[in-house]
Amino acid sequence: MMSEALETGTPSFMDRFPQEAAVVRASLISSFIALFLGAVFGLIQALHRTDVFRFLDSQYYYTVLTAHGVLMVVSFTIFFLVGVFTWATVRSLDRPLVDIRYTWAWYGLMAIGTLMAVVAILGGFIPSTDISADVLFTFYAPMQAHPLFYGGLAIFIIGTWLAGADYFRAWYAWKQEHPDERIPLQTFMVLTTMLMWYIATIGVAIAVVVFLLPWSLGLLDSVNPLLTRTLFWFWGHPVVYFWLMPAYLLWYTVLPSISGGRLFSDPLARVVFVLFLLLSTPVGIHHQYVDPGIAEGFKMIAMTNTMFLLLPSLLTAFTVVASMEHGARQRGGTGLFGWLRALPWRNPAFTGMALAGLMFAAGGFSGMVNAGMNINYLVHNTIWVPGHFHLTVGTAVALTFMAATYWLWPQVTNKPIFSRPIALAQVVLWFVGMALMSNAMHVMGLFGVPRRTAEPQYQGFDFVASFGSITELRMQLALGGTLLFLSTILFVSNIALSTGSPRMSGLGKPLSEPLSPAADSPKVLDNLTLWFGIAMVLVVLAYILPLASIITDSGIVDPGVRPVPMLVDAANGLGPISAVTDAASRVVAAVVGVVP
């Protein structure tokens, strides 16, 4: 059992805000259920595609893959982040939410939406029903799901919108009482993240509500695959930052305190979140480098914007490591690198977050390969790509969330974590398992092994490995996936057993103040209207011409897309302005045609 020495005598979040703590608990529990189910499907998938153990027919592989993807990157991550954001907003504003019934309403919508989508996905295992959603997490056309899936997604996203509004309401109420104060850092991070989310979800909302759902219901005969794909990626890349930004929030505001020190710079943290708000969305086309129908110039713009996005991540690496070093030196660490030993490595919350950050660096390097237009062709649609995002969302985000749980859970339950040694073993096991699995995925990707394939061995075909063998790499992938599953079991069990821990008081963990406070930064950083406006302008600049050109070339609901690469739209006889006006007239004609 965790030692009572953890008690600080400080009132916990649950002591101070019991109603909000209940919402945080519900959100975290929902996310852990999704994590467990997602891990089961992940293990099935890893053992199936490596041919280690197959108990399902390969026709169900996409059902398994969809369940793994949606449960992990939609349900686990987003339920966890609304829990953390609720905690962070209430804690940093030091006031309760405006109306707890409203808060439960958005949680309920998210839960209902998730259940609908999961039922639709699991229906794929029952051939006798017409319910299925084997469309993967990347659910754009031409693959079609049951309306229940799209309806569930729409309701889930509406729930997140209302959650964001909840945080803005709390901030607005706080602002009335503190008109001259800077926005507290955690609330600032929550609000900028939600603004980014509002912009990003424009794309997926249009894709789902205007095209995919009516198409699934039979109201539309066809949809334009390229258009829905582009709208999906309008959301599909910034959603990566929606997962990452709560991890950043934890790295910036919790990790320094756990390290025994203080955040190096509050202003730098604000700059980073503003940069994410500005740059997260106008980059989605970098997922479409091999798509015909989008001119190369637009892809070049997306690549340039993506490379700019490295800046806030590099700033974060500097600020967080500097904060950790400050903490280590406060604890007595000395020397050029000797301070590393002074960090609290026996604390699973610290070790998990630090290892997550380490793996994120590796994920950043492989991400640069994905983002480069020319070198992307080498790895596009290979298993390299899952190797990359298992380092980013699968470790930087997931491991940070699990590690942070060991710190946060006692504060929202007033019950210590069941076992600290198991927690430490769990985060280390995740690190080793992911290193094995991700390494195998990256290397196999370089050898051309495809992603999203139940039997990449095909009929006796084997890929040529430049060293070792493909069999060896498959075994490495399977071993890594198994270790990750065991790590998940340890995590979920540890949290579940913690509910039996004796209730204690004084488990609150105060967060330290930054070395350089908000007062050191210009007030314009807190002008959310300004940054939201600039972000919208950037999105319009990045997307209006590509979307206009897609609609002009291939219609709004026309399934035929010309399979030819394009250099510039002018080559088609369409200048940029005429492309936009032509697309606009088509949209108007379509709306007029639908509305009687």
Q: How far is the CB of 338 from other proteins (least distance, A)?
A: 7
4 binds other proteins per the rule CB under 8 A: no
Between 351 and 413, name the residue whose CB sits nearer to other proteins: 351
Q: Could you give the CA distance from residue 74 to residue 91 in angstroms, rounded to a whole number?
A: 25
Least Cβ distance, residue 438 to other proteins (angstroms) = 10
Q: Counting contacts by CB under 8 A, is residue 140 touching other proteins?
A: no
- Rule CB under 8 A: say whether 444 interacts with other proteins: no
> 372 φ, ψ to 5°?
-75, 125
Piece of the chain touching other proteins by CB under 8 A; list 49-57, 68-76, 440-448, 584-592: 440-448
Alpha-carbon distance values, 16 to 171, 178, 190 (Å):
18, 20, 20
Contact flag: residue 18 with other proteins (CB under 8 A) = no
Nearest distance from C-beta of residue 360 to other proteins, angstroms:
15
Name the segment binding other proteins (CB under 8 A); options: 158-166, 167-175, 236-244, 430-438.
Answer: 430-438
**Cα separations in angstroms, 153 against 175, 306, 378, 572:** 33, 27, 33, 37
Q: Is 258 in the site for other proteins (CB under 8 A)?
A: yes
DSSP states along 268-287:
HHHHHHHHHHHHSSTTGGGG
Shortest Å distance, C-beta 104 to other proteins: 34
Residue (8 or 527) nearer to other proteins, CB: 8
Please state, in angstroms and rounded to a whole number, the distance separating the CA atoms of residues 146 and 133.
6
8 A C-beta contact, residue 280 and residue 541: no
* Residue 206 lies near other proteins (rule: CB under 8 A): no
Position among 393, 436, 528, 539 found at the interface with other proteins (CB under 8 A): 436
Which of 444, 495, 484 lies closest to 68 in space, CA to CA? 484
Taking the least distance from each CB to other proteins, the nearer of 13 and 107 is 13
Q: What number of other Cβ atoms are within 10 A of residue 369's Cβ?
A: 17
Provide, rounded to whole angstroms, the least separation between the CB of residue 581 and other proteins.
51
Backbone angles phi, psi at 447, to 5 degrees: -90, 5
Task: Give the footprint of other proteins on residues 102-131 (CB under 8 A).
Answer: none
Residue 113: other Cβ atoms inside 10 A: 22
Q: Does 6 bind other proteins (CB under 8 A)?
A: yes
Q: With CB under 8 A as the rule, give the number of residues binding other proteins.
A: 35
How far from chain centre, in Å, is Cα 438?
A: 18
Closest approach, Cβ 355 to other proteins, in A, equals: 8
Contact between 424 and other proteins per CB under 8 A: yes
d(CA 98, CA 17): 12
Q: In the complex with other proteins, which residue's Cβ is closer, 129 or 334?
A: 334
Q: Does residue 135 touch other proteins according to CB under 8 A? A: no
Q: Site map for other proteins, 323-362, x if CB under 8 A?
A: --------xxxx---x--xx-xxxx--xx-----------
Q: Kindly state whether residue 260 participates in binding other proteins, applying the rule CB under 8 A.
A: yes
Judged by beta carbon, residue 339 or residue 389, the one nearer other proteins is: 339
- To other proteins, the closest distance from the beta carbon of 188 in angstroms equals 26
Residue 175 interacting with other proteins (CB under 8 A): no
Tell me which residue has tokens 């974060």.
Answer: 316
Q: Interface mask (CB under 8 A) for other proteins, residues 453-472, using x and -? A: -------------xxxx--x
Nearer to other proteins, 353 or 561 (CB): 353
Owner of token pair 């198991």: 422
Comparing CA positions, the residue from 524, 53, 6, 574 lying closest to residue 271 is 524
Nearer to other proteins, 143 or 432 (CB): 432
Quick one: which segment of 146-154, 163-171, 283-291, 435-443 binds other proteins (CB under 8 A)? Answer: 435-443
Task: For 270-281, give one letter per residue: b (16+ CB within 10 A) or e.
Answer: bbbbbbbbbbbb
For 160, 161, 208, 231, 409, the CA distances from 205, given in Å and listed in that order, are 12, 11, 5, 9, 33
Spatial separation of the C-alpha atoms in residues 197 and 157, rounded to whole Å: 10
Nearer to other proteins, 3 or 176 (CB): 3
User: Cβ closer to other proteins: 296 or 472?
Assistant: 472
Q: Active-site positions?
A: 237, 241, 388-390, 451-452
User: Rounded to whole angstroms, how far apart are CA atoms 4 and 6?
Assistant: 5
Query: Can you say whether residue 346 is alpha, beta or left, with left for phi > 0 and alpha for psi between -120 and 50 degrees?
Result: alpha
How far apart are CB 472 and other proteins at their closest, in Å?
4
The yes or no reply on residue 529 touching other proteins (CB under 8 A) is no
CB of 184 to other proteins, least distance (A): 23
Q: What are the helix (H) ranges across 259-347? A: 266-279, 296-308, 310-330
User: DSSP 3-state assignment of 97?
Assistant: coil
Residue ranges that bind other proteins, judged by CB under 8 A = 3, 5-6, 258, 260, 331-334, 338, 341-342, 344-347, 350-351, 421, 424-425, 428, 431-432, 435-436, 439, 442-443, 446, 466-469, 472
